[in-house]
Structure 1
Amino acid sequence: MELTIDESILKAYGLTRETINIQQIGSGLINGTYLLTNIANGKKFVLQYLNKVVFTNPEAIANNIDAVAQFLKQNHPDYLFPAPVASVTGHSMYLQAGKHWRLMPFVDGTVALDTLSTPKQAFEAAKQFGKLSRLLNRFDSSKLEPTIAGFHDLALRFTQFKDALNAASNENKEKAAKEIETALALEHLLSQYLQFKSKADFPDRVMHHDTKISNALLDQESFEGVCVIDLDTLMPGKFISDLGDMMRTYLCEFSENETDLSKITIRIAYFSAMIDGYLSEMGSILTDTEKELILFSGKYMIYMQALRFLTDFLNGSIYYPTTYAEQNLDRAKNQFKLLEELFANEEQLQHLIDVSLKKK
């Protein structure tokens, strides 16, 4: 594949095409990503440009990461936080032909998994996301800007669903009739969240907001956690964003694209490991209200994602990429089934949470 990196971009970081090897990595669906390897010493970097369709305010991303990096450097200097490398002019981004580029360190000896295969991996990943939140506990989250407005705002997502329902074709509404009924019946989850939202001990924190397993780097041999990556959505939020997204993506063996709903079940051992990993870092600083909402965080995030898939289907699938006409409807069915499984196992899952909290 032809590489389209202008020489000026390399020069901005003191590099030349003659001194490095360039390899395109990743899917390229959101941001364009390249691996740069220094020919002389083998040192590696990740060069990436931001997709401005998804991230409309790249400067906010840069400012947020810079602010957090400075705080961590001053207060937790030993923590590995893979912030972008400064350009020769001292900036964390370089603008070229309308694209915002940044160069980031490559963390050797690590692996980013696409899927979890052991409870230990769930423990280590959850521990890393919890550790970042714990280290930033005293950071004033109001200093950060939202990088995607309303990203995990369930009230917004429910409103968008209702708007899509009102505008949808009769054909799509008929196809999704059962899922629409389920979505409306679960509105009480939004009401429950709104009851807690303004409580004093339900604070805004610095959250990662995208805690899928591939965003935690693990040691490639021991699978112990090393650090977290993909910091574009580092912004103010509630703790339920990170923990709930881990529940949504770690607990089932199969992704939201699985259409055989009999396969959508919860792996109890993975849930236990994930909770233990997260609470090993955050258990001592979560408030009473946050502890009360641990299991709710999974309900919140799974319901939100189901709504988003259903909304996109009703809108004609204009947001999420699809390979067939009813894929977003199938994804919504998948997520509603996962939520059903969470409700069905609630008593056992809450017991595991209670046991884990007593360890802290």
Structure 2
Amino acid sequence: MIKDSAPDTMAAKYGWHSYQMMPIESGLINHTYKVVTPSGKFILQQVNTNVFKQPLVIDANMRLLKHQLKTSHPDYLFVAPIAGMDANTLYEVNSQYFRAFEFIEGSHTMSTVNTPEQAFEAAKAFATFTAVCNGMDATALQETLPNFHNLPLRYQQFEAALHSANEERLTTCKTLIEDLQSQEAIVTIYETFIAHPDALKRVTHHDTKISNVLFNDAHKALCVIDLDTVMPGYFISDIGDMMRTYVCPVSEEESDLSKIIVRKDYLQAIQEGYYSHMEQHLTDFEKAHFFFAGEVLIYMQALRFCTDYLQNDVYYPIKYPHHNLVRATNQMQLLLALQQTLANSNY
């Protein structure tokens, strides 16, 4: 949480002579606050350096993106950190890093996807962001989370955990382990995909949950936010994460596997929303792997939860014993549901 004199220090950096600060609880990674001042409303955010080890890299990426979009698409709503009195956009105070954003009036976020229309709007928003960045050299951006969506590495980590885990945990998730191993072909297909010349690296968000979209009062998407994970990547990352978090009516926390289904209309809405701005930019090879993206991200998350369980829960916070096992089993069930849906449909 924010420490000591940091609020007053940051207020001085931005020239806020008086202010009221209220925490915003929706964020999972960074600590975020709404700041009300006589000159306007702002968002103040403390970067979580346990997750993002190099805040200066994020700041450099944001400056580069802002310059690119101001030049090529000046009408696009890009919520970038604002400059303080000395023109800096990131500040270190008491070994913590802070930045501020303008508060977008008439906007809101949502935590769950409850209609196909919301899925469509969110997919369109992420597609619009990648499309307006299409003329940019994605490799000019630095990786803020190295190997974040590196599926082959995640499988290697899973295999390593199998050799180091204690017998009790190996026995408890024996069936899950066998199920995950039976899907190893996804890794091979993914490796073939990224090696293909028509699998293009683009400016990719990498964290496309619905809460990273700003909506207006008419429930239309305004823009995407929380851009710390923006870096070079494949379209599979964004599409797969949308499928993983939009198509099922329950979250990865659900233990009742009977509730884990794939809503076909939401799946279709993701494709239609994304294609509305990105269809012309995707290669035929990428389009042929559109729904495979869901398999990649769901499988990768199942591997990560299972790996963490086998390593005695060192990464993901847990609320009860076997929490990560429940999460991994949930994602494995979602993967099977998606595969069955794709096999029985004309996708």
| TM band (smaller chain) | over 0.9
Q: 1:329 aligns with which of 322, 325, 330?
A: 325
Aligned-partner SS, 1:245: helix
Query: C-alpha displacement at 1:29, in angstroms?
Result: 4.8
Are residues 1:226 and 2:225 paired?
Answer: no
Q: How many Å separate the matches in 2 of 1:250 and 1:82?
A: 24
Cα gap change, 1:349 to 1:302, in 2 (>3 Å): farther
Are residues 1:87 and 2:88 paired?
Answer: no
Q: How many Å separate the matches in 2 of 1:318 and 1:48?
A: 26
Deviations 1:227-270 (A, max 9, x none): 00000001011110000000000000100000000000011111
Partner of 1:30 in structure 2?
Answer: 29
Query: C-alpha displacement at 1:6, in angstroms?
Result: 3.7
Deviations 1:85-112 (A, max 9, x none): 0111111101111111100111111121
Cα gap change, 1:166 to 1:77, in 2 (>3 Å): same
Partner of 1:66 in structure 2?
Answer: 63
TM norm structure 2: 0.97
Query: C-alpha displacement at 1:343, in angstroms?
Result: 0.8
Q: State the AA in 2 paired with 1:230.
A: D
Q: State the AA in 2 paired with 1:21.
A: Q
| Counterpart contact for 1:36–1:44, Cα < 8 Å | yes
Q: 1:143 aligns with which of 140, 148, 152?
A: 140
| Counterpart contact for 1:134–1:285, Cα < 8 Å | yes
Deviations 1:104-138 (A, max 9, x none): 11111112100111111110011000000011111
Cα gap change, 1:343 to 1:97, in 2 (>3 Å): same
Query: C-alpha displacement at 1:11, in angstroms?
Result: 0.7
Cα gap change, 1:76 to 1:159, in 2 (>3 Å): same
Q: How many Å separate the matches in 1 of 2:300 and 2:117?
A: 27
Q: 2:287 aligns with which of 288, 291, 313?
A: 291
Aligned-partner SS, 1:88: coil
Deviations 1:112-168 (A, max 9, x none): 100111111110011000000011111101101110110000011111111111100
Runs of 4+ aligned residues of structure 1 deviating over 2 Å after TM superposition are 1-6, 27-30, 347-351
Q: How many Å separate the matches in 1 of 2:16 and 2:315?
A: 37
Partner of 1:354 in structure 2?
Answer: none
Q: How many Å separate the matches in 1 of 2:276 and 2:336?
A: 28
Q: CA RMSD in A?
A: 1.4
Deviations 1:272-304 (A, max 9, x none): 111110110111110111111101100000000
Q: How many Å separate the matches in 2 of 1:198 and 1:10?
A: 49
TM norm structure 1: 0.93
Q: How many Å separate the matches in 2 of 1:282 and 1:2?
A: 40
Query: C-alpha displacement at 1:309, in angstroms?
Result: 0.3
Q: State the AA in 2 paired with 1:50.
A: V
Are residues 1:281 and 2:277 paired?
Answer: yes
Aligned-partner SS, 1:121: helix
How many equivalent pairs are there? 346
Gaps of 5+ in 1: 352-360
